[in-house]
Amino acid sequence: MKKGAASFYKQGNFSGITLKAGVAKPTLDDVTITAGVDGQAPSFALTTVRSKLTTPVAAQNSGFVDKTILATHKAFTIAVSNMYVAGSPPNKMISPGGDLAGADITVLGVMSAVHPTVIMAKKPGERVSRFFVPAGGGAYDELKTMPYSVIMKARLQDGAQGGMRVTYQTWSNKTLGEQLTTITELGSGGIP
């Protein structure tokens, strides 16, 4: 999902999602999550995901990690909700006649600012799962590999008509224990 873009179709049955009234083209800033699809507050997801991180986080990266977890939780909640909204692009994709109809579907929340959600699909007879990310305009791109740390999963039961099971994953990321960026100040001459 591009920064600021929200693929939010309707509230469906998830009462923890609120869309700002009167917004024709919502962004993520127009959506408020008070409870995820598991019924828990975003703060619960933050605490749980942080507790499942098996590698240390450097003090200077702590805020970045928390912000990314909360942004992923928001995008994940919207993505799972949209799977059940009739007519939404992800619902069309998994409904009868869609490209992934009949597949085992799991929505992944991942530690990525670019693609905070990934759809994992495995059709009957396929040996490996395939991974898809939103490409805009209701389209999806298939990833060649899964490069992201998975922090939460929602396995859909019975496709577009069933329920789901949300789990929080044990994860690691060695780079979070180190300084992620270095800013070098130039002398009084400023930027060349």
Neighbouring C-beta atoms of residue 176, cutoff 10 Å: 19
Residue 12's pLDDT is 43
8 A C-beta contact, residue 166 and residue 154 = yes
Show the CA angle centred on residue 137, arms to residues 131 and 141, nearest 5°.
Answer: 20
Q: Which residue has the higher pLDDT, 15 or 11?
A: 15
How far from 81 is each of 10, 15, 21, 29, 54, CA to CA, in Å?
8, 10, 18, 17, 29
118-142 tens-digit pLDDT:
999 999 999 999 999 988 777 889 9
Q: Which of 68-72, 149-153, 162-166, 175-179 has the lowest mean pLDDT?
A: 162-166
Residue type, 111: M
17-71 tens-digit pLDDT:
888 888 877 778 888 899 888 888 999 999 999 999 999 999 999 999 999 999 9
Cβ burial of 33 (10 Å; 0-12, 13-18, 19+) is: buried
61-87 tens-digit pLDDT:
999 999 999 999 999 998 888 888 888
8 A C-beta contact, residue 49 and residue 152 = yes
